[in-house]
Amino acid sequence: MRHNMLKNSLRLCLISASIFLLQNTYAHGAHNHGSAKINLGVQQTTATIQMEMPAVSMYGFEHEAKTQNDKKAVSEAVEKLKKNISQIVKLDSALGCTFSPNKIEPFVKDEDGDEDNMKDSKTKNKKIEGEHGDFRAEFNIKCQKDITGSKVTFQFKPFFPNIKQIDAQVLSNSTQSASKITNDKGFLQL
């Protein structure tokens, strides 16, 4: 029994490390409005989901919140995500899954700099100034039944209608796959 616990702990560590590597790979990708990047690490009845999307797609702007109205919009987006995560990330209800927030970062400055270097014809090719930020969230998922082999669908549109495309990846003991979901149509096989 102790051997199985050690083996499962090692698997979970490997999955966590792999998710970290996938997340860092994503972090250096382009900052695309209307898109979300999702990584899922699955181990039998538990999973971790990491999400990254442009802040503008979540609460309407992508600079750090400074005004009361900005702070309210950010707070509302965070609460909406926490409250509705099980409807946004949909697993079969027979699996008995619950979600708990692990980490939510509503504004992470886009380190890629791609958009900071874009030119605007109205400014006669002067550099566009301003911050470009991402919204990142991580949730732990605990299920009553093994979720390996099940499907997950995404329903961002009712809650965050500006998210149109999702690049999703899953990593488990037995699977590594990816799927592109457009307008909430499609699924990711766990």
Closest CA to 63 of 94, 114, 109, 112: 109
Q: What is the pLDDT of residues 7-44, one digit of tens each?
A: 444 444 445 544 444 444 444 444 577 789 999 999 99
pLDDT at 34: 78
Q: Is the pLDDT of residue 116 over 70?
A: no
Average pLDDT of span 41-60: 95
Whole-angstrom Cα distance, residue 81 to residue 85?
5
User: Edge to edge, what strands does the sheet with 151-154 contain?
Assistant: 89-91, 151-154, 188-189
Q: What is the pLDDT of residues 92-111, one digit of tens each?
A: 999 999 999 999 999 998 66
Token pair of 119, please?
């030119």
Q: Is the pLDDT of residue 165 over 80?
A: yes
- Domain tally for the chain? 1
Average pLDDT of span 137-147: 97
Domain that holds residue 57: 2-189
Token pair of 175, please?
């699977």
Whole-angstrom Cα distance, residue 149 to residue 15?
16
Whole-angstrom Cα distance, residue 56 to residue 173?
35
